[in-house]
Amino acid sequence: MAVIITDLCINCDACLQNCPVHAIVDDSKNPVTNTRYYVQPEKCVECVDIFDDPQCAAICPSIGCITWDMPYTKEYDAHYLNDALYKLCDKDNILKSPAIKEKKYRTDIPLSMRGVGKEVQVEP
């Protein structure tokens, strides 16, 4: 990861249809809240090596809905184990947290631009 979807989500389904790695689930499958779509951080690769920009943000009609989160790396393991934000998939009863398996992230996005509320999109 990662990007995180905020409460500005209008559940339009566009991002889910465009994610190249099928990292997004709809509100009915969101493990944290049923009011918005959810990006599975253990699957998101920030579209690295696939597209120039995160495709979810490129297609999302609700500005401010898609925000950067921290890199999915072991330094941020505790962040991704925060149940209020994420519920990670487990395999053989081992949570796929960053300490187990890191994911690609955009190295050109500085940490100062990451965190819930740090928008990926820009106003047109």
Where on the chain is the footprint of ligand SF4 (CB under 6 A)? 3, 5, 9-15, 19, 21, 23-24, 37, 39, 44-47, 54-56, 59-60, 62, 65-66
Alpha carbons 93 and 57: distance in angstroms, whole number: 32
Nearer to ligand SF4, 92 or 119 (CB): 119
Task: State the nearest-atom distance from the C-beta of 73 to ligand SF4, in Å.
Answer: 15
Nearer to ligand SF4, 45 or 97 (CB): 45
Task: State the nearest-atom distance from the C-beta of 93 to ligand SF4, in Å.
Answer: 26
Nearer to ligand SF4, 23 or 97 (CB): 23
